[in-house]
Amino acid sequence: MKVGMTLGLSNIEYSKIMREYEKRQVNRKFILDNRKREVLLKIPKFKELEDELISEAIKTAKSAINSPSKDKSQDISESVLLIEDKKRSLLVANGFPEDYLVEKFICPHCKDTGYIRNKKCTCFKQAIVDMLYQQSNLKHTLHKENFSTFNFDLYSKQENNGQPSPRANMEALVNLSKDFINNFSSNFQNLLFYGNPGVGKTFLSNCIAKELLDRGNTVIYLTAYQLFESLADITFNRNYDTSDNNLYEYILNCDLLIIDDLGTELTNSFTTSQFFLCINERILKKKATIISTNLAIKQLASDYSERSFSRLYGNYQFLRVYGDDIRLQ
């Protein structure tokens, strides 16, 4: 993935997303028109009810013009509801689902327009993020790695030196992650998972990412290597724009940023200071970040600048993940 190649969305990419939304609308209309035709063909009486609805609408309009003061809307809407009810019964009686002619949206929030009152819907922002990061592989991973595929049996129940068993520890971490998700919009929190490779840190992050994406949040997943590459590009190529199609804006403003494998990247003084700016800015904006690392805390403290570490230490929950390497099982 060449994150550094694009600092923002090109017009071509932008119109690609717009076309996707248009396609959805056209598809929806196509399906609905076909269904309507099918229903009218099978249930001729359905047309009568449709006509009744139209004349009700005309009545409403007329009465509003003739006597603007008198509130007739109550009984008129009741008769409309009655007709709608009859339509549904007719559908069911003829073997159709009762919502057969109800439009179904992929995103009910914006009804697949991408916008809510001139503002981009989160689904649109996520589409931009996915385009910027070519994150389609993330979705593929999340399909396989989520709470429903989590297997506690991979963790031993054996206690060691008085510390909780890996299994008990993981159960506690999963519960904590679920709390993190459920309180996401009301309670600003950051998590830092640390522990040996292969004990399930990335899996936990992915579980959280999936839930929050499903709930309409914007999520960016980057390995530390990718993040530092992007930060280096931004540092050395300052002519990026500040529109919200911009990569850096999304790193700072997305609802959840996941930085995987911190400690495996190549760093220099520029990138470490950019790293500080990034995590600090997100803390100030109260935007959640999840970091996972194979480094021990001591190592973390010595590898990163003191001010970065103190921001992490003061604002992140440090959570140790341990057990056998689940990738080998």
Interaction site with Zn ion (CB under 5 A): 107, 109-110, 121, 123
Q: How far is the CB of 246 from Zn ion (least distance, A)?
A: 20
| Whole-angstrom Cα Rg for the chain | 27
Contact indicator for 212, 182 with CB cutoff of 8 Å:
no
**Which CB sits closer to Zn ion, 35 or 120?**
120
Q: How far is the CB of 70 from Zn ion (least distance, A)?
A: 39
Q: How far is the CB of 185 from Zn ion (least distance, A)?
A: 17
d(CA 131, CA 15): 12
**Which CB sits closer to Zn ion, 177 or 218?**
218
Structure tokens at 228: 């530092």
**Which CB sits closer to Zn ion, 253 or 267?**
253
Q: Which helix (H) or strand (E) holds 260?
A: strand 256-262
Other CB atoms within a 10 A radius of the CB of residue 254 amount to 22
**Which CB sits closer to Zn ion, 4 or 216?**
216
Q: How far is the CB of 121 from Zn ion (least distance, A)?
A: 3
Q: How far is the CB of 119 from Zn ion (least distance, A)?
A: 11
Contact indicator for 128, 6 with CB cutoff of 8 Å:
no
Q: Is the dihedral of CA 189, 194, 198, 199 positive or negative?
A: negative
**Which CB sits closer to Zn ion, 24 or 178?**
24
Structure tokens at 6: 């694009």
**Which CB sits closer to Zn ion, 105 or 147?**
105
Beta-bridge mates of residue 163 = 160
Q: How far is the CB of 139 from Zn ion (least distance, A)?
A: 16
Q: Which helix (H) or strand (E) holds 261?
A: strand 256-262
**Which CB sits closer to Zn ion, 210 or 282?**
210
Q: How far is the CB of 241 from Zn ion (least distance, A)?
A: 24
d(CA 192, CA 174): 14
Question: Residue type for 140, please?
Answer: H
Contact indicator for 118, 209 with CB cutoff of 8 Å:
no
- The answer for residues whose C-beta is within 8 angstroms of residue 152's C-beta and 6 or more apart is 167, 170, 171
